Amino acid sequence: MKKFLYIAFGLFLPVLASAQTQETTGDTTAMRQINIGTVDVIPTAVKVKGMLLLNKDVQYELEGAVDNMYNFKFERAEKQFKSLRRRYPEHPLPYFLMGLSQWWKIVPTNIQTHQYDKLFFAYMDTTIEKAEELYDRNENNTEAAFFMAAAHGFAGRLHSERSNWRKATVHSKNALEYMEIAKAGNGLSPEFLFGEALFNYYAVWIHENYKMLRPVLVFFPDGDKRLGLKQLRHVANNGFYTATEAKFFLMKIYANEEGNMEESMKLVQTLVSKYPDNAYFQRFYARLLFVQGHFSMAERVSLDILHKLDQKMPGYEAVSGRYASYILAYVNQNKYRDLEKAKQYYQDAIMYAEMSNERDSGYFVNSYLNLARISDQLKDKSKAKRYYTIVINNTEKKSAAFKEARTFLKANKKVK
Please give the pLDDT value at position 209. 57
Question: How many CA atoms does the CB half-sphere of 36 hold within 13 Å?
Answer: 5
Q: How many Å apart are CA 197 and CA 2, to the nearest integer? A: 24
Query: Residue 377, Cβ neighbours under 10 Å: how many?
Result: 11
Determine the Cα–Cα distance for residues 68 and 82; give it in Å rounded to an integer.
Answer: 14
| Domains, the chain, ordered by start | 2-270 (no CATH), 273-411 (1.25.40.10)
Q: What is the 3-state secondary structure (H, E, C) of 108-154?
A: HHCCCCCCCHHHHHHHHHHHHHHHHHHHHHCCCCHHHHHHHHHHHHH
pLDDT of 233 above 80: yes
Instruction: Output the pLDDT for position 9.
Output: 46
Question: pLDDT grade, residue 279 (50/70/90)?
Answer: very high
> pLDDT for 3-35, tens place per residue?
444 444 444 333 333 333 233 333 332 333 333
Does 334 have pLDDT greater than 60?
yes
Per-residue pLDDT at 47 exceeds 50: no
Write the DSSP assignment of 43-80 as a string of letters.
----PPPS-GGG-HHHHHHHHHHHHHHHTT-HHHHHHH
- What pLDDT score was predicted for residue 28? 30
Amino acid at 359: R
Residue 350 has pLDDT above 90, yes or no: yes
- Average pLDDT over the chain, rounded to whole? 86
pLDDT at position 208: 59
Q: Give Cα 199 distance to the centre of its chain.
A: 17
Q: 21-35, 254-268, 365-379 — which is least confidently predicted?
A: 21-35
Lowest pLDDT segment from 23-32, 196-205, 288-297, 376-385: 23-32
Q: Dump pLDDT digits (tens) for 105-158.
A: 999 999 999 999 999 999 999 999 999 999 999 989 999 999 999 999 899 889
Q: For the segment 305-319, what is each residue's pLDDT rounded down to a tens digit?
A: 999 999 999 999 999
CA torsion sign, 317 to 323 to 326 to 327? negative
pLDDT at residue number 189: 87
Q: Give 360's pLDDT tier (boundaries 50, 70, 90).
A: confident
SS3 364: helix
pLDDT of residue 80: 97
Interior angle at CA 134, CA 133 and CA 137, nearest 5: 90
Tell me what percent of the chain is helix, strand and coil, each rounded to the nearest 5.
75, 0, 25
What's the pLDDT at 216?
47
Gap between the Cα atoms of 100 and 89, Å rounded? 17
Q: What are the angstrom distances between the C-alpha of 19 and each of 107, 206, 245?
A: 17, 13, 16
Residue 416: pLDDT band by 50, 70, 90 thresholds? confident
What distance in Å separates the CA atoms of residue 240 and residue 160, rounded to the nearest whole number?
Answer: 28
Whole-angstrom distance, CA of residue 415 vs CA of residue 408: 11
Amino acid 415: pLDDT = 86
CB 19 within 8 Å of CB 165: no
Kindly report, residue by residue over 180-222, the tens digit of the pLDDT: 899 888 778 899 898 888 888 877 655 455 554 444 444 456 6
